[in-house]
Amino acid sequence: MGSLLSVTDIKDDVKYILELASKIKAGEIEEKPLKDKTLAMIFQKSSTRTRVSFDVGMYQLGGRAIFLSSNDLQMGRGEPISDTAKVLSRFVDGIMIRAIEHDDVIELAKHSDVPVISGLTNLEHPCQALADMLTIKEHFGVWKGKKICFVGDGNNVCNSLLLIAPLLGMNMSVACPKGYEPSETILKTAKEYAMENNTEIIVSDDIGVALENVDVVYTDVWVSMGDEAETKQREIDFAPFQVNSDLMSIANDEAIFMHCLPAIRGQEVTGDVIDGPKSVIFDEAENRMHAQKAVLYYYMKD
């Protein structure tokens, strides 16, 4: 059965899932492969793209999705995660959870008898990474040899990109202020993947070094959900890492701009970049649904 809690869970099947996503998007699979299947969607954090893409995705695959906020579940009143997992497993065919703590998702999957899919945790965002890679392939036609640079906070999105890029033959750099580096554990695994696939991983506080020969410039908000108390300090620390036209000019001429959204124009990225001709953010957002449909198909089809 298995679950998708981290990119590491699909290390050997990343290309297959992305090829499946392309076929699903092109209408090349059976019409309703998840007919009569039900997905429980647990949200501890608010969401636009994750909620709508999973909900519509399940419907288009022939199944249905049930939205469950923390207030809708006894888990929000102290029921053990293990009990929630065992109960939901009796009712549904899969569980998607957008959680605060990664350990909670691990605990849920440990006690679930149905696949668990991470819709985001404080450590990783694997479904976002899949959508990003689908978008890059659509734009450039290949992954191998391309280079992506994540600019800003070494957060959950950055962590998942670090893991998935080398698996597809891509080089990756991270440009971030000191103290905001990606997870050391994730970085260690990513460098092992890079060595296996003859690619390169670089983390630097020197933007010029990180952006050398880059095909994809990627950023995210400076203040993620849960980090609001650090807002003022983060705005100071990240100011030199704003993605603007000057920064984009360091990348390759044909470089594209990506952002997982939501974005704060004028903070981590300027309006002329995110709304400019190099931006593919809305293709990227749409591909959340196609990539997740492939994940749902992969884990929930009989």
Residue 239 lies in a domain: yes
Contact 197, 233 (CB under 8 A): no
Please indicate, yes or no, whether residues 151 and 270 belong to a single structural domain of this protein: yes
Rounded to 5°, angle at Cα 114 from 70 and 120: 45
Residue 169 lies in a domain: yes
Q: What are phi and psi of 262, to 5 degrees?
A: -75, 155
Strands (E), the chain: 38-43, 64-69, 94-98, 116-120, 147-151, 171-175, 201-204, 216-219, 256-259
Catalytic residue, candidates 44, 93, 125, 149: 125
125 known member of a binding site:
yes
Specify the CATH number for the domain of residue 266: 3.40.50.1370
49 known member of a binding site:
yes
Please indicate, yes or no, whether residues 226 and 189 belong to a single structural domain of this protein: yes
Q: What are phi and psi of 210, to 5 degrees?
A: -65, -35
Catalytic residue, candidates 132, 288, 290, 292: 288
Residue 2 lies in a domain: no
Residue 236 lies in a domain: yes
127 known member of a binding site:
yes
Please indicate, yes or no, whether residues 64 and 198 belong to a single structural domain of this protein: no
Please indicate, yes or no, whether residues 20 and 39 belong to a single structural domain of this protein: yes
Q: In angstroms, how far is the first alpha carbon of the chain from the final one? A: 10
Active site residue 260: yes
Please indicate, yes or no, whether residues 234 and 151 belong to a single structural domain of this protein: yes
Residue 192 lies in a domain: yes
Alpha-carbon distance 74 to 42, whole Å?
Answer: 12
- Compute the half-sphere exposure of residue 156: CA atoms within 13 Å on the CB side of its CA: 25
Q: Is 257 exposed, middle or buried (0-12, 13-18, 19+ CB in 10 A)?
A: buried
Residues 178-206: tens digit of each pLDDT: 999 999 999 999 999 999 999 999 999 99
Please indicate, yes or no, whether residues 137 and 221 belong to a single structural domain of this protein: yes
Residue 26 sits in which domain range? Answer: 7-125+285-301
- Tokens (6 digits) for 68: 């469950």
Please indicate, yes or no, whether residues 233 and 104 belong to a single structural domain of this protein: no
50 known member of a binding site:
yes
* Domain count across the chain: 2
- Provide the pLDDT for residue 30: 84
Please indicate, yes or no, whether residues 187 and 247 belong to a single structural domain of this protein: yes
- Provide the pLDDT for residue 77: 66
98 known member of a binding site:
yes
Please indicate, yes or no, whether residues 48 and 104 belong to a single structural domain of this protein: yes
Please indicate, yes or no, whether residues 145 and 265 belong to a single structural domain of this protein: yes
Give percent helix, percent strand, percent coil of the chain, each to the nearest 5: 45, 15, 35
* Residues lower than pLDDT 70 in the chain: 75-77
- Provide the pLDDT for residue 277: 98
Instruction: Judge if the upstream peptide bond of residue 166 is cis by omega within 30 degrees of 0.
Output: no
Residues 220-267: tens digit of each pLDDT: 999 887 778 889 999 999 999 999 999 999 999 999 999 999 999 999
Catalytic residue, candidates 128, 158, 176, 292: 128
Please indicate, yes or no, whether residues 120 and 132 belong to a single structural domain of this protein: no
Residue 101 lies in a domain: yes
Please indicate, yes or no, whether residues 235 and 289 belong to a single structural domain of this protein: no
Residue 68 lies in a domain: yes
Catalytic residue, candidates 55, 93, 98, 290: 98
What is the pTM for the complete model shown? 0.97
Alpha-carbon distance 287 to 148, whole Å?
Answer: 18
Catalytic residue, candidates 55, 260, 290, 292: 260
Catalytic residue, candidates 55, 176, 220, 242: 220
Active site residue 125: yes
233 known member of a binding site:
no
Active site residue 288: yes
64 known member of a binding site:
no
- Provide the pLDDT for residue 52: 97
260 known member of a binding site:
yes
Residue 60 lies in a domain: yes
DSSP letter (8 states) at residue 96: E
